[in-house]
A and B are shown apart, each in its own frame.
Chain A
Amino acid sequence: MPKVTVNGTEIEVDKGTTILRAAAEAGFEVPHFCYHPALSIPANCRMCLVEVEGAWKLQPACYSQVTDGMVINTKSERVVKAQKAVLEFILVNHPVDCPICDQAGECKLQDYYVAYDSQESRLRAEKVHKVKVFPIGPEVLYDGERCILCTRCVRFCEEITATNELTIVQRGDRAEIRAFPGRELDNKYSVCTADICPVGALTARDFRFKCRVWLLNSTDSVCTGCSNGCNIHLEHFRNEIQRYRPRFNPAVNDYWMCDAGRLTYKEVHTDRLLHPTNNGAELNWHAVCETVADKLKRAIDEVGSDKIALVLSPQASCEDLHLARKFASDVIKTSRFYMGGKRDGDSDDFLIKADKNPNRRGIEAVFGSTTAALPFSQLVDDIEAGTVQVVYMMDQYMPVDAATAARFVERLDKLKLFVFQAQHQGALAQKAHIALPVCSHAESEGTFVNFEGIAQGFERAFAAHGESLPHWQIFMRLAQAMGKPFSYTFIQQIRKEMFAPRPDSVASGTAEGVPVE
């Protein structure tokens, strides 16, 4: 393995390592714009120039590989001069729009200017004007003046999505990024270009002007858009999610996530159930649990436990499901489970999976088999046949076509008792005898098992909306009210019981080392 010296620190790196990576391993940052670890290396921005002893020219660190005995200096006078020159060159026509630029605060140009340049502009000539607020795609806006032509976005569309929408048009100081004639940046991962754009040239339409990035708090979470379970930074401000941003995990989603998944955060803040209700009347948790306990007990006496159905939700976390199972087996003593969740949707061969539920494999893991729960359509039939007279439903999703769903809603009137435990208002909440508000994945912690069986933990970002509680806490309260309390105090105790090996070991055991984005 080659031994190299970076700024006096000697380290051993793998053969074929680039200078930039070797320097990162030695603990030195080499500023870079065009280099992205997941993309090819065009070495076009020249921000990463470093001095290599023996070479008469400065070398691009992103591209040059180390050789044994190489002596690298990332801070020499020549390098500093080159960095200043490159930044000055980029800023010649840069509008320095920072006050109105959504990238401000997470902009490489801003950061590098402060860290490596910080000299006053010597430019007195008029700057070249280019397009601004150009709708390059349905989800992304392009600002030609801010673009530094690093081609990260172009390479993303070539190498990651292979959709090839973008290219550079014109030359010199008039060069801009454009979609090919008749096309637009409309692939299913288009907002990733805004993530990887080192400046504010590509910005996400959904996040536009919503919140300054320095005000955001970030929580590690998992996207609930489909069963792929892309790792995300859930970014929120004042108890409201502002955006999702992909979190690097080479085992699941690498640096990416899909556009549809990014927008799923909106569900968290629309039409939420906020208070427990009994036939439409608001109650507090204590009273509503007593009521449910009472009604369930009476139902058990009247119709028997086996006529009580529990609709499981693959949207709920493993912890929730584990307690659902325990609640069913120990408290109401039924094993009549039906599968809820969202209907299948579109899929592709990259990240997007047809199963739009983040935790179907979690049901398998918790219940031990895929056949533990009957299909939802069966539930409708069973209600009609009278074999089910009490329904306890987790989440409002119905994995059936609209006609069957309508039939289900209609048949609800036949039930002795319908307990509805979900996040959202709607027809089901209105029909419910008891509606119990549940909080979203942003307001609780838990574990999802993705389609490949990778268990991934997610963290709580902010306080629950209204009086909502996580499913598992509701089951705990109900078990208590029915006189068979569970003995958990912390979610970790459920986790320990749920899986033999701790989920954390897979969940956070993601990347080796720190990715250099």
Chain B
Amino acid sequence: MALVETRPVNRIKQNLWDKSYIPEIVRGLAITTRHFFRNMNPDKSQRSTFTREYPEVPTVYPERYRGLHRLMLRADGQVRCVACMCCSTICPADCIHIEAAEHDDPAIEKYPRVFVIDELRCIVCGLCVEACPCDAIRMDGGVHIPPYTERGAAFFDRDLLMERGGLSLAVQGGESK
């Protein structure tokens, strides 16, 4: 049997002054009051508050933060995604729905006629981004997934996802060189 490791704790003996509580309460209130007035200082740099005035002052997320998805664009504004289904295959939450279709341009061939992500079901793992061979899907916008009041609002379709998309530096097949 494994031995239980114990550690003796040196308890501080309370004296009468401590035990009567009153002076300590007064001391505590004094600290709180001091902080209160310090944080009322019109000069914000003098305040010591940690509270962020969200949403008036937005949070700046770290660079690798995984936020809301976006679909990247080709130079001509078309969707980069070629509906290869790598993202929907790897997605552990099974929340990406893609329907592929034939593109008019034979150099592109395949594109997603339907692309819907259920952001509420998404577990924000980022595997879809890793899986994408075309740099077509990203979660790097620095925008977190908003709260929804309605279930349907969590279904982000292709156009909505493209609205937050941008250009990619990666070269893509089928692009005129």
Contacts and interface: CB of A to CB of B under 8 A. Distances in A.
Contacts of A100: 82-84, 109-110, 173
A213 to B, nearest CB: 10
A259 to B, nearest CB: 20
B106 A133 contact: yes
A49 to B, nearest CB: 31
B85 A212 contact: yes
A266 interface: no
Contacts of B124: none
B102 A214 contact: no
Interface in B89-116: 89, 100-102, 106-107, 109-110
A126 B173 CA distance: 12
A208 B102 contact: yes
Given A132-B107, A133-B109, A99 B84 contact: yes
Nearest to B103: A100
Nearest to A129: B107
* Main DSSP-derived SS at the A contact region: loop
Interface string B5-49: 000000000000000000000000000000000000000000000
A270 B126 CA distance: 39
Interface in B137-177: 173, 177
A214 B101 CA distance: 18
A209 interface: yes
B133 interface: yes
B120 interface: no
A97 B173 contact: yes
A95 interface: yes
A98 interface: yes
Contacts, number: 38
B85 A215 contact: yes
Given A95-B173, A99-B84, A212-B85, A132 B109 contact: yes
Contacts of B86: 99
Contacts of B133: 98-99
B134 interface: yes
A209 B110 contact: yes
A96 B101 CA distance: 20
A208 B109 CA distance: 11
Contact of B89 (A132, A208, A212): A212
Nearest to A209: B100
Most buried by A among B82, B106, B110: B110
Given A99-B134, A132-B109, A209 B102 contact: yes
A506 to B, nearest CB: 39
Interface in A207-249: 208-210, 212, 214-215
Nearest to B133: A99
Considering residues B100, B102, B109, which has the most beta carbons from chain A within 10 angstroms of its beta carbon?
A: B109
A475 to B, nearest CB: 39
Contacts of A209: 83, 100-102, 110
Nearest to A96: B173
Contacts of B106: 132-133
Nearest to A215: B89
A215 B98 CA distance: 13
Residue among B85, B89, B107, B133 with the most chain A CB within 10 A? B85
Interface of B: 82-86, 89, 100-102, 106-107, 109-110, 133-134, 173, 177
Interface of A: 95-100, 104, 126, 132-133, 208-210, 212, 214-215
Return the 8 tightest CB-CB contacts between A and B, nearest first: A99-B84, A209-B100, A100-B110, A133-B106, A212-B85, A100-B82, A99-B82, A100-B109
